[in-house]
Structure 1
Amino acid sequence: MIEPMKKVTLLAGASWEDEILNALRETGIFHIRLPENAGAPDVTIKKDVTVENRLGNNMLLIQEALGLIPQAVKAKPCKGDEDGIVLARELCSKTKEAFSLEAQIQELEKAYEDQKIWGQFDPHDIEQLKDHSIFIRLFKARKKELGQLPADIARVVIHTRGAMAYFAVVTCHEPLCPIPFHEISMPEQSLSHLARMLEQKREALETIQKRILELYGAAPYMARSLNECKALLAYENARNAMVRRGDIIYLQGYCPTCFTGKLKERADIEKWGIVIENPGPEETVPSLVRYSKLTHLFRPVMAFIGVLPGYREYDANGPFLFFFTLFFAMIIGDAGYGVMILAATFFHAKRSAAPHKDLIPLLYLLSLSTMVWGALTGSWFGVEALRNFPLFKAMIIPSMDTFSDTSQPFIIHLCFLIGAVQLSFAHCRRILNTFPHIRFLAETGWFFLIWAIYFIVRVLVLNQPFSPLGYYCLIAALCLIICFGQQKEDGFFKGLARSVVRLPLDIITWIGNLSDLVSYVRLFAVGMSTKEVAVAFNNMAFNIGFDTLPAMFSAVLVLLGGHSVNLLLGAMAILVHGIRLNVLEFSKHLNIEWSGVPYDPFREPEP
Structure 2
Amino acid sequence: MIRSMNKYAFLVFHSDYEGFLHKLRSLGVLHVNEQKDSREVEELRGILSERTHIKDTLRALRPYITDGVTELSQPIKNEAEGEALISEIEGELKRLSVQDEELAALRLEATEVRPWGAFDPAAVSQLSEAGYGLSFFTIPQARFTEAFQAEYDVVPVARLSGRVYFVHLHAAGASQTLPEAEHVATPKRSITELEGLVAEAEAARAQQLEKLTEQTKLWQDQLASYDLLLENRFTFGRTRLQGERLADEKLLLLEGFVPTDDAPAFEAALEEAGYYFRQVDFDPETERVPIQLKNNAFARCFEFITGLFSLPNYQEIDQTYLIAPFFMLFFGMCFGDAGYGLLLFTVCTYFRLRSKGGDTSLLGLGQWLGGGAFVVGMLMGGIFGIELPWAHNKAYIFNQDNMMMISVIIGLVQILLGKAIGAYKKGLQKGWRHSLAGYAWVLLLVAVGLIYALPKASITLPQPVTYILYGIAGLSVLVAFFYNSPGKNPFINFGSGLWSTYETASGLLGDSLSYIRLFAIGLTGGILGSVFNQLAMSCVPEAGSGASVFSYIIGWVMALLVLLFGHGINFGIAMIGAFVHPLRLTFVEYYKNSEFEGGGKPYTPFTRK
Structure-2-length-normalised TM-score: 0.78
Does structure 1 retain, via aligned residues, the 8 Å contact 2:76–2:226? no
CA deviation after TM superposition for structure 1 residue 526, in Å: 1.4
1:520 & 1:191 partners in 2: Cα distance?
75
Give the AA of the match of 2:413: V
**Does residue 1:13 correspond to 2:13, yes or no?**
yes
SS of 2:291's equivalent? coil
Q: Which residue of 1 aligns with 2:106?
A: 108
2:448 & 2:165 partners in 1: Cα distance?
79
Q: Which residue of 1 aligns with 2:563?
A: 559
More off after superposition, 81-90 vs 541-550: 81-90
Change (3 A) 1:171 1:580: farther
Q: Which residue of 2 aligns with 1:222?
A: 223
Pick one of 366, 371, 374 that aligns with 2:374: 371
Q: Which residue of 2 aligns with 1:581?
A: 585
Q: RMSD across aligned C-alpha pairs, in angstroms?
A: 4.4
**Does residue 1:536 correspond to 2:531, yes or no?**
yes
Give the AA of the match of 1:73: G
More off after superposition, 170-179 vs 21-30: 170-179
Change (3 A) 1:353 1:224: closer
Pick one of 69, 77, 80 that aligns with 1:74: 69
More off after superposition, 335-344 vs 507-516: 507-516
Q: Which residue of 1 aligns with 2:152?
A: 153
Change (3 A) 1:12 1:347: closer
More off after superposition, 222-231 vs 212-221: 212-221
Pick one of 86, 89, 94 that aligns with 1:88: 86
Q: Which residue of 2 aligns with 1:461?
A: none
1:271 & 1:355 partners in 2: Cα distance?
35
Does structure 1 retain, via aligned residues, the 8 Å contact 2:331–2:373? yes
Q: Which residue of 1 aligns with 2:23?
A: 23
1:47 & 1:302 partners in 2: Cα distance?
29
CA deviation after TM superposition for structure 1 residue 253, in Å: 1.3
Q: Which residue of 1 aligns with 2:205?
A: 205
1:47 & 1:301 partners in 2: Cα distance?
30
Give the AA of the match of 2:521: V
SS of 2:158's equivalent? strand
CA deviation after TM superposition for structure 1 residue 439, in Å: 4.5
Does structure 1 retain, via aligned residues, the 8 Å contact 2:309–2:587? no
Give the AA of the match of 1:186: A
Q: Which residue of 1 aligns with 2:405?
A: 413
Q: Which residue of 2 aligns with 1:597?
A: 601
CA deviation after TM superposition for structure 1 residue 365, in Å: 3.3
Change (3 A) 1:542 1:15: same
Pick one of 324, 327, 344 that aligns with 1:341: 344
More off after superposition, 489-498 vs 553-562: 489-498
Structure 1: runs of 5+ lacking an equivalent: 38-45, 459-471
**Partner deviation per Cα, 1:133-185 (whole Å, 9 max, x = no partner):** 95735224245764684852344322223654334566776483541x6x375
2:449 & 2:111 partners in 1: Cα distance?
73
CA deviation after TM superposition for structure 1 residue 445, in Å: 7.4
1:214-293 aligned at under 5 Å gives the runs 214-246=215-247, 247-269=250-272, 270-293=274-297
SS of 2:164's equivalent? strand
Q: Which residue of 2 aligns with 1:521?
A: 516
Change (3 A) 1:225 1:312: same
Does structure 1 retain, via aligned residues, the 8 Å contact 2:348–2:363? yes
Give the AA of the match of 2:224: A
Does structure 2 retain, via aligned residues, the 8 Å contact 1:310–1:597? yes
More off after superposition, 27-36 vs 439-448: 439-448
SS of 2:227's equivalent? helix
1:156 & 1:473 partners in 2: Cα distance?
109
Does structure 1 retain, via aligned residues, the 8 Å contact 2:391–2:398? no
2:527 & 2:147 partners in 1: Cα distance?
64
Does structure 1 retain, via aligned residues, the 8 Å contact 2:284–2:314? no
**Partner deviation per Cα, 1:87-146 (whole Å, 9 max, x = no partner):** 233224422442453244234323422431233565995999699795735224245764
1:260-409 aligned at under 5 Å gives the runs 260-269=263-272, 270-299=274-303, 301=305, 305=308, 307-348=310-351, 350-351=353-354, 353=356, 357-359=360-362, 361-384=364-387, 387-388=388-389, 398-402=396-400, 407=401
Does structure 1 retain, via aligned residues, the 8 Å contact 2:51–2:227? yes
CA deviation after TM superposition for structure 1 residue 31, in Å: 0.6
Change (3 A) 1:537 1:236: same
CA deviation after TM superposition for structure 1 residue 515, in Å: 4.2
Structure 2: runs of 5+ lacking an equivalent: 454-470, 542-550
**Partner deviation per Cα, 1:543-591 (whole Å, 9 max, x = no partner):** 1115611111111221222222222221122232223322343223333
Does structure 2 retain, via aligned residues, the 8 Å contact 1:11–1:249? yes
1:296 & 1:367 partners in 2: Cα distance?
16
Q: Which residue of 2 aligns with 1:468?
A: none
Does structure 2 retain, via aligned residues, the 8 Å contact 1:153–1:170? no
SS of 1:591's equivalent? coil
Give the AA of the match of 2:531: A
Change (3 A) 1:515 1:10: same
SS of 1:545's equivalent? coil
Give the AA of the match of 2:53: L
**Partner deviation per Cα, 1:23-47 (whole Å, 9 max, x = no partner):** 111111111112369xxxxxxxx99
SS of 1:544's equivalent? coil
Change (3 A) 1:60 1:127: farther
2:53 & 2:593 partners in 1: Cα distance?
44
Does structure 2 retain, via aligned residues, the 8 Å contact 1:137–1:168? yes
- Identity between Structure 1 and Structure 2 (%): 20
1:594 & 1:128 partners in 2: Cα distance?
87
CA deviation after TM superposition for structure 1 residue 421, in Å: 1.6
1:108-187 aligned at under 5 Å gives the runs 108-120=106-118, 122=121, 136-143=135-142, 146=145, 149=148, 152-161=151-160, 163-168=162-167, 174=175, 176=177, 178-179=179-180, 183=182, 185-186=184-185
CA deviation after TM superposition for structure 1 residue 210, in Å: 4.4
1:383-532 aligned at under 5 Å gives the runs 383-384=386-387, 387-388=388-389, 398-402=396-400, 407=401, 410-435=402-427, 436=431, 439-440=434-435, 443-444=438-439, 487=485, 514-532=509-527
Structure-1-length-normalised TM-score: 0.78
Does structure 2 retain, via aligned residues, the 8 Å contact 1:534–1:563? yes
More off after superposition, 446-455 vs 557-566: 446-455
Does structure 2 retain, via aligned residues, the 8 Å contact 1:105–1:202? yes
Does structure 1 retain, via aligned residues, the 8 Å contact 2:137–2:183? yes
Change (3 A) 1:371 1:116: same
Give the AA of the match of 2:560: V
Does structure 1 retain, via aligned residues, the 8 Å contact 2:113–2:190? yes
Does structure 2 retain, via aligned residues, the 8 Å contact 1:287–1:596? yes
1:108 & 1:558 partners in 2: Cα distance?
47
**Partner deviation per Cα, 1:171-218 (whole Å, 9 max, x = no partner):** 776483541x6x375367534565465456445534533442235324
